[in-house]
Amino acid sequence: MRLGEAGEATRAKLVLNHWVLSLTAATAETIGLARALDIDPQLFLDVIDGAPMGSPYAQAKGKLILEDKVCEAVSFPLHLAHKDARLVLEAGAEGELAPAVERLFARAGDAGLDECDMAAIAQVSAERARRS
């Protein structure tokens, strides 16, 4: 896709990265909720698969989480995802979602998961749920 003025592609990439960071965070948190409610999280992925609310990206990241391969099959390293989450905030993202996503990625980085796939945020999300 060709974009217009100088810098537009960079800004568009930031918008798209915000989407995948948020989608990954939502997928990780939803899998955690399913587990907390004693629901097989695979059921969640099965229900959204091919549905209008579904996403191939959620399927891919969800599979990594369920198979516990977030540090083996790395397609988007957590440290790069966290950098992009910080850039979203620096760009002036408004609302509640961007800061919450950035905090989740920061906690995962603090837990030593920087070289794992960004789906590793599920591990810190699950730890927080167990402490509650």
The per-residue pLDDT string of the chain (132 residues; one tens digit each, 9 = 90 and over) reads: 566 676 777 888 899 999 999 999 999 999 999 999 999 999 999 999 999 999 999 999 999 999 999 999 999 999 999 999 999 999 987 889 999 999 999 999 999 999 999 999 999 976 655 555
Report the distance separating Cα 68 and Cα 120, nearest Å.
9
Instruction: Identify the domain containing residue 53 by its residue range.
Output: 8-131
- Do 19 and 25 contact (CB within 8 A), yes or no? no
Smallest CA-to-CA distance from 85 within 27, 26, 19 is with 19
| Domain annotation covers residue 1 | no
What would the two tokens of residue 113 be? 């998961």
Q: What is the total count of domains within the chain? A: 1
Let me know if residue 2 belongs to a domain. no
Q: What is the CATH number of the domain that holds 117?
A: 1.10.1040.10
Q: Are 123 and 111 in contact (CB under 8 A)?
A: yes
> What DSSP state is assigned to residue 118?
G
pTM of the model: 0.89
**What amino acid occupies position 111?**
A
How many CA atoms are closer than 13 Å to the CA of 119, on its beta-carbon side? 23
The pLDDT value given to residue 9:
79
